[in-house]
Structure 1
Amino acid sequence: MLEVLAYLFEAFHSADGVPELPALARQLDAVGFESDDIQEALAWLSELSKLDTGVYADVPDTPRYLHPLESARLDEDAHAYWHYLEQGRVLTASEREMVLDRVLADSQSEIGAERLKLLVLMVVWRKRDQLSNLLIEEILFGRNGATLH
């Protein structure tokens, strides 16, 4: 699925420029992506469209430690990735809270680093400023075997 998202990131310079999901599914199929990857990416985009960022607008920019419930959801690699994000102050306070809410709402009992990256990607996908673009590129193209389309 990350390959589909990488294609979308490259093909559409704005998250708002992505076509409606049925048209997008046909386009991705025509490009040659696997049906399962397309469906997973479309489900991800659908979830992204439902993300209400407004409720996080007034989150204060103060240091924050993971609550034990949040910490328990992350495996060792996800903890290391979270530490990297926090140390680099990559996410704003509101983005941080959105990601942690996505972690708690996720259906997986334990979140690995790759799943956490998808949740982070979901939160920063629409922003498209210089820092978020670098993070998106790192998540999508900084993996072993990742290709640019």
Structure 2
Amino acid sequence: MFEVLAYVYENYWRGDACPEPQQLGRKLSAVGFEAEEISQALDWLSGLRIGTVHEALPPSTAMRVYTPAEREHLGPECLGFVHLLEGAGVLPPAQRELVVDRAMAAPGAPVALSEFKMIVLMVYWSSGTEPDALVLDELSQDTSARTAH
């Protein structure tokens, strides 16, 4: 599923430039993706479109408490990454909730950090927001080989 999402992100620069699900499904099939992967990705993307209503939420100073199911499904790496983005001021509460919602809809537990980063990119993509260069670099690069200073 994440390969399909990466393809959609790379080929449709904004969420509003993406074709309707049926047309997108045909294009993805023509490119060579498996029917099951396409179906999963289209279901996931439909949840992303529905979730954009969260953008109407007012800014909040409340602390987010994750449920046990969220903590288990996201795992410590993904939760730490959310905190990093929130602390940097680049993931407002409404987008965070959409990220968590879409991560909970993703297969695998815990969600791999590389997949979680794709989810964050897709949330930015769906809202038409381009993250700044440093955030985009963090979302695009494999940071596992970096040495901490």
Q: 1:69 aligns with which of 67, 70, 86?
A: 67
- Stretches of 4+ moved more than 4 A in 1? 103-111, 132-139
Question: Residues 29-49 of structure 1, C-alpha deviation per residue, up to 9 Å, x if partnerless?
Answer: 111122222111111111112
Provide closer, same or farther for how the CA distance between residues 133 and 53 of structure 1 changes in structure 2, counting only shifts above 3 A.
Answer: farther
Equivalent residue number for residue 142 of structure 1: 141
Equivalent residues of 2:16, 2:128 under 8 A apart? no
Provide closer, same or farther for how the CA distance between residues 14 and 98 of structure 1 changes in structure 2, counting only shifts above 3 A.
Answer: closer
Equivalent residue number for residue 39 of structure 1: 39
How far residue 113 of structure 1 moved from its aligned partner, in angstroms, is: 4.1
Equivalent residue number for residue 88 of structure 1: 88
TM-score by length of 1: 0.68
TM-score by length of 2: 0.68
Q: Counterparts of 2:55 and 2:128 in 1: how far apart (Å)?
A: 20
Task: Tell me if 1:6 matches 2:3.
Answer: no
Larger proportion of helix: 2
Task: Tell me if 1:51 matches 2:62.
Answer: no
Where do residues 80-119 of structure 1 align in structure 2 (5 Å cutoff)? 80-100=80-100, 102=101, 106=105, 111-114=110-113, 116-117=116-117, 119=119
How far residue 72 of structure 1 moved from its aligned partner, in angstroms, is: 3.4
Where do residues 122-137 of structure 1 align in structure 2 (5 Å cutoff)? 122-131=122-131
Provide closer, same or farther for how the CA distance between residues 138 and 44 of structure 1 changes in structure 2, counting only shifts above 3 A.
Answer: farther
Equivalent residues of 1:4, 1:41 under 8 A apart? yes
Provide closer, same or farther for how the CA distance between residues 31 and 55 of structure 1 changes in structure 2, counting only shifts above 3 A.
Answer: closer
Where do residues 9-24 of structure 1 align in structure 2 (5 Å cutoff)? 9-24=9-24
**SS of the residue 1:53 aligns to:** helix
Equivalent residue number for residue 26 of structure 2: 26
Q: Counterparts of 2:3 and 2:134 in 1: how far apart (Å)?
A: 17
- The answer to which of 112-121 and 14-23 deviates more is 112-121
Gaps of 5+ in 1: 145-149
**Number of equivalenced pairs:** 140
Q: Counterparts of 1:108 and 1:41 in 2: how far apart (Å)?
A: 11
Question: Residues 51-108 of structure 1, C-alpha deviation per residue, up to 9 Å, x if partnerless?
Answer: 1425743133x3x5441526734422223222322232220132223334x1796587
RMSD between aligned residues:
3.4
Equivalent residues of 1:56, 1:98 under 8 A apart? no
Q: Counterparts of 2:136 and 2:2 in 1: how far apart (Å)?
A: 11
